[in-house]
């Protein structure tokens, strides 16, 4: 089926619009070949006639609704400019998503707002994840580069480009911050800190406020971040390109000079700055030309403090910093030097001898003021072998002064970069590989374009060529990997434009030649361009303006740019007079910074014979060689509007930048081949209703190959690969239409079947009603006859019964009278006999009581006498024993005999501690939980009882040291759990100061020991949790989110464009079985068993699992918030079932009381949000009332990412999302503004005090392996 047949009634198209660039419309009737117009209905309901001259004038088709908001532009069925623009607008305005993939390119739109998507919790969420699984983010690109580098050991590059104000610098800073976090420790080391500290320094000396951007980088930079074998940052190196030195002496209206000048002026009142003689920036010519002294929302004084702190971190001492500030201040004073015309002659100029600014400049740099004044107004000429001083006009003198200021600042900038590189150089080892971050100007075109724009656009031409070739190479690799028989795709190569600029007799070549001419001028140079590229050899990328002879036009890949030749030669020469440099060399100030800078200026002056253009071409070629030797990753930054307003989208400006940064070229290359790529399983799952034959999952590939030719007759529109089926642009939309038609036919069949079923049901009900009425009538007649027969039979029964009752009553009366007479007679006889028995029993009882009383009285008198005799004998024996004990207590010799053996044993114990003969971990595990702590306490107790408090404290210190060493040397699971048990029990023993009730408290001061044991408890607890968290970290997301515990539930939930790997991403080898909930429970069970075996208190175990379940909940929720493929109804069912398994496990071990189950509440509510209704206002209120554990940002994010499960499900409408947002604003939930949860949050732990079990020394069962049997004798 041809693409023309897609232009049917109801199809969406895009038509040009002067304001919105493109607007959507809908076809009101089918298109037939030969028609000269289309009848369209715009989105506002207006009907228009769209003229057509030929089928090639047909407007671009719209993509299916299911692809709206797709996070990868190359996944769109129709790849063209309006589709790209619309998709970016929907993601930016409706979903507040500033990042979108475009194949291997990340498109970043500047939101002009602070978004909570760059915290450490976001870095943790992206670390170690696959780029294709996560939502687009700058961290995703950084992670892809880092993971590829560590896996393949190949250098990487991240190329960030865009126009001023598009967010290049911010993206580069976040990229470097990501590497500092994942390539360092939890706390930044000195290397990572130095790498990040280079940013504020470079921003101060290289950034300035422009009309488009308050913090615009006025130079390009390429930072190579070096990594070691373990993937940690060990150094960095920076290269800079094309500093805008002209800004030092001139700023346009509403712009500023470099930030460092305003920071110095704002700090002029500081004591150390008063010697620089600074003033307000309004009083310096080099800072007041733009009229903008302040930037809203910034504090120049605080920024200087931040810059100075960064210098200090990088090893630049405060005195060296003051030297740098002295030179910068001298530049400001140089700009205020007043150059005046000499009398009536305009060819001479002079500077007053008492010029204050010149005096301050000379004093700051230690140069001769009169010489500087003379050579600022004169230049030296060689005439006939003699050197003459030629006066300069006022204009020429001002240009010489400005050239000196620019040159000093340029070399100061270069020296600072070199100083930073020396501080960032790798010091911890050899750099194994690096990741380069390139932050460079994007394509520029203004009303007046000069030499700077020419160099910038030339650099972008080179970068675009490298980008085109890399993208095309990836496309070829994909086709070869899939074993496709394909013809070579043609793509536009800008080599001709590059040859025009850098080739032989090109623009740069002719410019350098003209610069070497003594009387070369801009006019003669541009005339040579006309002669060479218009007359002699016309070049397709070179044109001449119609109404100008001082300009030329270059047809760049992005746009047609007109360059004014005025100033090209001067900027290319960048001349500074040697006499002025010699004066600086004679500086009398003894400062290392100035001396090194003077040396650098002198060297640069000697090398100044090389033009700026030639040097730039050399550095750019080095950059291209570096980029070509690495694996590149691309970030294209887009500025959505020129007014810096948050979340305002200007389609005109956006389209200009999409064309300029090569995004549309990427789309064009993709559209030239097979942009839509589906695995056979995805294709089968989505379009199985269109396939005929057996639908066995084992025959998916053959089934697709068998049926696809019937669906798309043109074989050139698709191609079968090894694992995927490839489609040309528009074919997915065609399949979607066929699928919709098949569903429509199926719906009609279902409707007819349902209507027939309803008619049959109605007939059956009528038939049933007729039969029921007949049955009821017949039943009523039968019941009437049966009732008559029943009445007749009842009359006969009544008669018989009455006669029987009369006779029976007479019989009962006679029998009752007889029984009454017999009972009276027998009762009288029984009562007489009872009275006789009672009297006899009373007499016997009275006799027994009297005899017992007499016997007890006699016994009491005998026992009293015996007890009295025993007391007298025992008192006499006790007095004798007391006298004997008192005598022994006065004897010191007995104590010496008792403690003599103890001292020997203590010495042996100390010797064994010195020799580090400790209990092995495997043997300690088998000991009773409290035995090691009790043994240690008994040893200290015996030393204390012997009066040797020094030895007791020594034993305490040795025990703590041994515990610390064991915890530090061995970082395994068993040592940690044994140490926490030992320290906890030992703390309890020493806190209670007793082993048995009969002992008195210790006399030695052990408060330090108790504090040390408390610290060891916390350290061992944290180490034990850290080990478990490390094991859980890589299995939480696969087990909780990705595992299909309910088979087949998510099989049909395949969305167009989802789960397709992006072009250029390295395939990841998957080995072994994927983690499931059993893996998570296995890790948790191992920890629970270990803690329970050590007899730790239940509250401590509950705290440990409270921490772990928080980690599980936070990690899973963070991944859910960043993965669109997880936000569906079916996936929510899977996740909820997995969470319920975890909840059941926690309850089975009675861990719910410690809050372990409660920490899962945010994840549970997020899953409920996926499963709940999302249509009406009532649904919105229910969601807001239910999801109390989720923040407002998290709720909106999940609703934005929600993906329909199937055709029966619907996308969440924007009106519903806005309704929820309105209700959330009324809710004061107190949640932090971050979208992601902080996975590094650590809950405070409390070790409850439980009195230790009373252990008597003689009751301890001490193993012989400990060799401390002497404790049994104590």
**Per residue in 1153-1198, pLDDT tens?**
778 888 999 999 999 999 888 888 999 999 999 998 998 889 999 9
Does residue 20 register a pLDDT over 70? yes
Taking the C-alpha atoms of residue 72 and residue 832, their distance in angstroms, rounded to an integer, is 115
pLDDT band of 1063, cuts 50, 70, 90: very low
pLDDT band of 68, cuts 50, 70, 90: confident
Taking the C-alpha atoms of residue 535 and residue 549, their distance in angstroms, rounded to an integer, is 15
Specify the pLDDT at position 343: 66
Does residue 1099 register a pLDDT over 60? yes
Does residue 63 register a pLDDT over 90? no
What mean pLDDT is predicted for residues 362-383?
A: 87
Q: Is 162 among the annotated ligand-binding positions?
A: yes
**For the segment 489-501, what is each residue's pLDDT rounded down to a tens digit?**
556 678 999 999 9
Cβ burial 121-136 (10 Å sphere, 16+ → b, else e): bbbbbbbebebbbbbb
What mean pLDDT is predicted for residues 852-868?
A: 85
**Is 457 assigned a catalytic role?**
no
Does residue 1070 register a pLDDT over 50? no
**Is 1130 assigned a catalytic role?**
no
Does residue 578 register a pLDDT over 60? yes
Q: Is 163 among the annotated ligand-binding positions?
A: yes
**Is 385 assigned a catalytic role?**
no
Specify the pLDDT at position 128: 85
Specify the pLDDT at position 1117: 92
Specify the pLDDT at position 231: 85
Taking the C-alpha atoms of residue 918 and residue 978, their distance in angstroms, rounded to an integer, is 13
DSSP 77: S
Does residue 595 register a pLDDT over 80? no
Does residue 982 register a pLDDT over 80? no
Q: How far is CA 654 from CA 116, 440, 443, 641, 764, in A?
A: 24, 19, 13, 8, 66
Does residue 47 register a pLDDT over 80? yes
Lowest mean pLDDT among 178-187, 418-427, 655-664: 178-187
**For the segment 876-921, what is each residue's pLDDT rounded down to a tens digit?**
888 888 888 777 766 656 566 656 666 666 666 665 655 444 444 4
State the catalytic residue, choosing from 100, 217, 329, 1138. 217
Q: Is 1265 among the annotated ligand-binding positions?
A: no
Lowest mean pLDDT among 179-183, 756-760, 1137-1141: 179-183
**For the segment 1228-1237, what is each residue's pLDDT rounded down to a tens digit?**
666 677 788 8
**Is 169 assigned a catalytic role?**
yes
Taking the C-alpha atoms of residue 742 and residue 689, their distance in angstroms, rounded to an integer, is 8
**Is 96 assigned a catalytic role?**
no
Q: Is 166 among the annotated ligand-binding positions?
A: yes
**For the segment 604-627, what is each residue's pLDDT rounded down to a tens digit?**
555 446 888 998 999 999 999 999
Lowest mean pLDDT among 171-175, 296-300, 1052-1056: 1052-1056
State the catalytic residue, choosing from 62, 442, 613, 1132. 442
Q: What share of the chain is helix, strand, coil (3-state, %, to 5)?
A: 60, 10, 30
Does residue 1053 register a pLDDT over 60? no
State the catalytic residue, choosing from 100, 150, 169, 449. 169
Q: For residue 343, how many other CB atoms are within 10 A of its CB?
A: 8
Specify the pLDDT at position 1003: 59
Which has the higher per-residue pLDDT, 1270 or 691?
A: 691
**Is 599 assigned a catalytic role?**
no
Task: Select from 667, 640, 662 the least CA-distant residue to 651.
Answer: 640
Taking the C-alpha atoms of residue 1169 and residue 799, their distance in angstroms, rounded to an integer, is 79
Lowest mean pLDDT among 204-208, 365-369, 472-476, 562-566: 472-476
Q: Is 169 among the annotated ligand-binding positions?
A: yes
Does residue 1269 register a pLDDT over 70? no
pLDDT band of 953, cuts 50, 70, 90: low
**For the segment 501-519, what is each residue's pLDDT rounded down to a tens digit?**
999 999 999 999 999 888 8
**Is 165 assigned a catalytic role?**
yes
Taking the C-alpha atoms of residue 173 and residue 186, their distance in angstroms, rounded to an integer, is 19
The set of long-range contacts for 626-631, using a CB threshold of 8 Å and a minimum separation of 24, is 626/157, 626/222, 626/436, 627/157, 627/159, 627/436, 627/438, 627/463, 627/466, 628/466, 629/155, 630/154, 630/155, 630/156, 630/157, 630/436, 631/145, 631/148, 631/152, 631/154, 631/155, 631/156, 631/157
Contact 155, 433 (CB under 8 A): yes
**Is 442 assigned a catalytic role?**
yes
Contact 388, 380 (CB under 8 A): yes
Q: How far is CA 729 from CA 77, 674, 676, in A?
A: 6, 7, 7
Specify the pLDDT at position 108: 96
Specify the pLDDT at position 617: 92
Which has the higher per-residue pLDDT, 1258 or 27?
A: 27
Specify the pLDDT at position 881: 86
Mean pLDDT of the chain: 82
**For the segment 678-708, what is each residue's pLDDT rounded down to a tens digit?**
888 888 888 888 888 766 666 788 888 888 8
Does residue 456 register a pLDDT over 60? yes
Specify the pLDDT at position 427: 64
Give the CATH class of 453-591+599-621. mainly alpha
State the catalytic residue, choosing from 150, 197, 213, 611. 213
State the catalytic residue, choosing from 164, 257, 460, 679. 164
Specify the pLDDT at position 1273: 43
Specify the pLDDT at position 943: 63
**For the segment 221-270, what is each residue's pLDDT rounded down to a tens digit?**
999 999 988 888 888 999 998 899 989 999 988 899 999 999 999 999 99
**For the segment 986-1006, what is each residue's pLDDT rounded down to a tens digit?**
555 555 554 444 445 565 566
Residues 6 or more apart in contact with residue 408 via CB below 8 angstroms:
327, 330, 331, 584, 597, 601
Specify the pLDDT at position 769: 95
What mean pLDDT is predicted for residues 352-375?
A: 91
Q: Is 165 among the annotated ligand-binding positions?
A: yes
pLDDT band of 325, cuts 50, 70, 90: very high
Specify the pLDDT at position 203: 93
Taking the C-alpha atoms of residue 732 and residue 1060, their distance in angstroms, rounded to an integer, is 14
């Amino acid at each position: 089926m041809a693409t023309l047949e897609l232009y049917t009634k109801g199809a969406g198209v895009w038509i040009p619009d002067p304001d919105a660039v493109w607007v959507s419309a809908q076809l009101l009737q089918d298109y037939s070949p030969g028609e000269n117009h289309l009848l369209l209905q715009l989105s506002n309901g207006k009907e228009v006639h769209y003229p057509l001259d030929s089928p090639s004038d047909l407007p671009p088709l719209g993509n299916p609704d299911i692809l709206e908001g797709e996070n990868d532009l190359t996944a769109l069925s129709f790849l063209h400019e309006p589709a790209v623009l619309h998709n970016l607008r929907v993601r930016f305005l409706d979903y507040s998503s500033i990042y979108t993939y475009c194949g291997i390119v990340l498109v970043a739109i500047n939101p002009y707002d602070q978004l909570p998507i760059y915290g450490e919790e976001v870095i943790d969420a992206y670390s170690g994840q696959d780029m294709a699984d996560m939502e687009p983010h700058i961290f995703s690109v950084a992670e892809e580069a880092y993971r590829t580098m560590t896996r393949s050991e190949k250098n990487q590059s991240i190329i960030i480009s865009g126009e001023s104000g598009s967010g290049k610098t911010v993206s580069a800073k976040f990229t470097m911050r990501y590497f500092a976090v994942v390539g360092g420790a939890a706390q930044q080391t000195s290397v990572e800190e130095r790498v990040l500290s280079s940013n504020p320094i470079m921003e101060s000396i290289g950034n300035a406020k422009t009309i488009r951007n308050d913090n615009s980088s006025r130079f390009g930079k390429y930072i190579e971040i070096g990594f070691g074998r373990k993937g940690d940052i060990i150094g960095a190196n920076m290269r800079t390109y094309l500093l805008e030195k002209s800004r030092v002496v001139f700023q346009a209206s509403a712009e500023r000079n470099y930030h460092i000048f305003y920071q110095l002026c704002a700090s002029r009142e500081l004591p150390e700055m008063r010697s620089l003689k600074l003033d307000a920036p309004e009083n310096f010519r080099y800072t007041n030309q733009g009229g903008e002294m302040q930037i809203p929302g910034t504090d120049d004084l605080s920024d200087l403090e931040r810059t100075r702190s960064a210098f200090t971190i990088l090893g630049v001492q405060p005195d060296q910093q003051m030297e740098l500030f002295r030179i910068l201040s001298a530049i400001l004073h140089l700009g205020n030097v007043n150059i005046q015309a000499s009398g009536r002659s305009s060819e001479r100029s002079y500077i007053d001898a008492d010029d204050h600014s010149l005096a301050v400049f000379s004093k700051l740099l230690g140069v001769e003021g009169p010489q500087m004044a003379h050579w600022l107004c004169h230049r030296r000429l060689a005439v006939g072998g003699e050197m003459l001083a030629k006066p300069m006009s006022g204009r020429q003198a001002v240009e010489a002064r400005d050239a000196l200021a620019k040159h000093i600042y340029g070399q100061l900038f270069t020296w600072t970069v070199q100083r930073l590189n020396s501080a960032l150089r790798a010091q911890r080892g050899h750099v194994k590989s690096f990741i380069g971050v390139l932050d460079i100007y994007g394509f520029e075109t203004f009303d007046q374009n000069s030499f700077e724009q020419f160099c910038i656009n030339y650099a972008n031409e080179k970068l675009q060529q490298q980008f085109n070739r890399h993208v095309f190479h990836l496309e070829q690799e994909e086709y070869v990997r899939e074993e496709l028989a394909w013809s070579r795709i043609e793509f536009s190569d800008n080599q001709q434009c590059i040859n025009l600029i850098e080739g032989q007799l090109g623009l740069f070549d002719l410019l350098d030649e003209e610069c070497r001419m003594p009387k070369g001028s801009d006019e003669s140079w541009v005339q040579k361009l006309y002669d060479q590229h218009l007359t002699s050899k016309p070049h397709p990328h070179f044109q001449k303006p119609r109404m100008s002879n001082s300009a030329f036009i270059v047809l760049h890949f992005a746009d047609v740019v007109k360059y004014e030749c005025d100033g090209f030669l001067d900027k290319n020469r960048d001349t500074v007079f040697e006499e002025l440099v010699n004066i600086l060399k004679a500086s009398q100030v003894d400062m290392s910074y100035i001396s090194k800078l003077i040396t650098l200026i002198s060297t640069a002056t000697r090398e100044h014979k090389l033009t700026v253009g030639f040097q730039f071409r050399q550095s750019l070629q080095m950059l291209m060689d570096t980029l070509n030797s690495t694996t590149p990753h691309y970030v294209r930054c887009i500025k959505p509007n020129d007014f810096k307003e948050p979340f305002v989208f200007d389609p005109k400006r956006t389209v200009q930048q999409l064309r300029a940064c090569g995004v549309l070229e990427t789309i064009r290359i993709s559209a030239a081949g097979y942009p839509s790529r589906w695995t056979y399983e995805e294709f089968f799952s989505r379009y199985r209703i269109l396939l005929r034959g057996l639908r066995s999952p084992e025959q998916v590939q053959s089934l697709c190959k068998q049926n696809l030719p019937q669906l798309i007759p043109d074989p050139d529109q698709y191609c079968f690969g090894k694992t995927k089926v490839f489609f040309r642009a528009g074919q997915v939309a065609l399949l979607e239409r066929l699928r919709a038609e098949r569903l429509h036919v199926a719906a009609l069949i279902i409707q007819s079947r349902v209507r027939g079923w309803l008619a049959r049901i109605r007939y059956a009900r009528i038939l049933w009603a007729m039969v029921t009425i007949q049955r009821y009538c017949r039943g009523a007649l039968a019941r009437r006859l049966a009732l008559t027969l029943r009445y007749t039979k009842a009359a006969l029964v009544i008669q018989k019964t009455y006669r029987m009752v009369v006779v029976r009553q007479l019989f009962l009366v006679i029998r009752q009278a007889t029984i009454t007479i017999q009972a009276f007679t027998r009762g009288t006889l029984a009562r007489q006999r009872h009275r006789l028995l009672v009297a006899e029993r009373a007499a016997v009882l009275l006799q027994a009581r009297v005899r017992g009383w007499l016997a007890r009285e006699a016994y009491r008198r005998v026992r009293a006498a015996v007890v009295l005799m025993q007391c007298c004998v025992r008192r006499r024996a006790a007095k004798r024993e007391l006298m004997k004990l008192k005598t022994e207590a006065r004897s010191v010799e007995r104590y010496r005999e008792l403690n003599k053996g103890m001292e020997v044993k203590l010495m042996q114990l100390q010797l064994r501690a010195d020799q580090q003969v400790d209990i092995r971990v495997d043997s300690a595990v088998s000991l009773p939980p409290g035995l090691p702590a009790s043994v240690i306490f008994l040893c200290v107790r015996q030393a204390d009882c012997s009066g040797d408090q020094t030895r007791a404290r020594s034993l305490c210190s040795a025990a703590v040291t041994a515990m610390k060493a064991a915890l530090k040397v061995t970082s395994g699971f068993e040592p940690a759990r044994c140490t926490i048990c030992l320290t906890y029990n030992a703390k309890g023993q020493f806190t209670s100061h007793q082993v048995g009730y009969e002992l008195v408290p210790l006399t030695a001061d052990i408060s330090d020991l108790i504090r040390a044991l408390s610290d060891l408890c916390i350290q061992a607890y944290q180490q034990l949790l850290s080990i478990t968290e490390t094991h859980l970290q890589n299995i939480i997301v696969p087990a909780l989110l990705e595992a299909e515990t309910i088979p087949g539930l998510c099989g049909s939930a395949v969305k167009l464009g989802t789960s397709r790997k992006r072009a250029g991403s390295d395939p990841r080898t998957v080995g072994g079985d994927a983690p499931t909930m059993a893996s998570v429970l296995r890790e948790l069970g191992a920890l629970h068993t270990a803690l329970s075996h050590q007899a730790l208190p239940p509250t401590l175990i509950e705290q440990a699992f409270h921490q772990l379940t928080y980690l599980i909940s936070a990690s899973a929720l963070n991944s859910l918030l960043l993965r669109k493929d997880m936000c569906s109804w079916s996936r929510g069912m899977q996740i909820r079932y997995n969470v319920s398994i975890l909840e059941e496990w926690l309850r089975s071990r009675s861990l719910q009381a410690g809050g372990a189950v409660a920490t899962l509440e945010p994840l549970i509510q997020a899953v409920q949000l996926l499963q709940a209704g999302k249509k009406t206002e009532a649904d919105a209120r229910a969601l807001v009332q239910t999801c109390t554990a989720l923040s407002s940002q998290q709720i909106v994010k999940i609703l934005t990412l929600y993906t329909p499960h199937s055709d029966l499900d619907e996308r969440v409408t924007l009106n519903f999302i806005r309704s929820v947002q309105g209700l959330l604003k009324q809710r004061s939930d107190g949640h932090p503004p971050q979208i992601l949860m902080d996975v590094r949050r650590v809950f405070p732990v409390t070790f409850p005090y439980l009195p230790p079990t009373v252990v008597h020394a003689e009751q301890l069962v001490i193993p012989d392996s400990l060799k401390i049997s002497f404790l049994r004798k104590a």
